[in-house]
Amino acid sequence: MEYLIHLAVMSSIYAILGMSLNLVVGYAGLLSVTHAAFYGIGAYAVGILTVSHGYGFFGATAIGMACAALAAWFIGIVSGRFKGDYYALVSFGFNIIVFSIFLNVQSVTRGPLGIPGIPKPEVFGMLIRSNAQFLLLAIAFTLATYAVSQWIVTSSFGRTLKGIREDEDALRVFGYDTARYKRIIFVIAAMLAAVGGSLFASYISYIDPSTFSLNESIFILSLVILGGLANVNGSVFGAIFFILLPEILRFVGFPPDIAAQMRQVAYGLILVLLMLYRPQGMFGEYKL
């Protein structure tokens, strides 16, 4: 039962990451490969502030969100000068920069040693001790992220994002400051990703730079593509599917010495088939 709760917690965290990235990739049409950086900023904010400075979980989370927002605003200004593949390359570079900071600024992040002993959250003075209690907290944050995402995509702001995705030049003709809209949604997505990082750090109680590498950004993008671009429900499906897939593959019976490699092959094969026959994802409304 404890392991099922663990899978549910991780699914909730990745659902938050997937929904937030979908706002950028699916609705605004911006191919971002830097989400793990904002995920890491939230995690390290909670790790550093709770362990070394005595902050509570929610205060540290708020600071992590603010730091992610500042970083996203800066990268949004820089990447706003580029389109398409060049935009993806800029976001790619930013993820590497943030990963390098986590790895090399050892006086703050402890580098490859990571930060152990991150405390569990307190809610209304009650310390969350069990995984079942933490699952309730993770579900609450997931539902809040879902509500925010749905509100954005059904608002006039969301319709403008879709217009940018379909024909940005046409919107400019009608006087829309499209660069500002893109920066705003990028900042919102980064703040939500930082929430996912805060939950992860507090749940696992240990973080290190390897969790927030470029591979993690690609993984998050993959679950968004699988679930469906421009569909919030699809991001939740993609998160659950990719968290459960390794458990399903355990029953396939791969030889132990190549089991890990075969699971990676299975991931790749699923994505290739998806791009060939369902490029917009399982529930998507838009394809890259």
d(CA 11, CA 112): 26
pLDDT of residue 265: 79
Place 277 in a pLDDT band, splitting at 50, 70 and 90. confident
Q: How confident is the model at residue 85 (pLDDT cuts 50, 70, 90)?
A: confident
pLDDT tens-digit readout, 186-243: 999 999 999 999 999 999 999 999 999 999 999 999 999 999 999 999 999 999 999 9
In terms of phi and psi (left: phi > 0; alpha: psi -120 to 50; beta: otherwise), the region of 206 is beta
* pLDDT score, position 256: 64
288 CB-contact burial (10 Å; exposed 0-12 / middle 13-18 / buried 19+): middle
Angle at 235 between CA 130 and CA 41, to 5 degrees: 60
Q: Where are the chain's structural domains?
A: 2-212
CA-nearest of 40, 49, 34, 71 to 211 is 40
CA 17 – CA 7 distance, rounded (Å) = 15
From CA 75, how far away is CA 94, in angstroms rounded?
7
Q: Which of 46-60, 71-85, 182-196 has the lowest mean pLDDT?
A: 71-85
Neighbours of 246 (CB within 10 A): 14
pLDDT of the residue at 126 = 86
Q: What is the pTM of this model?
A: 0.94
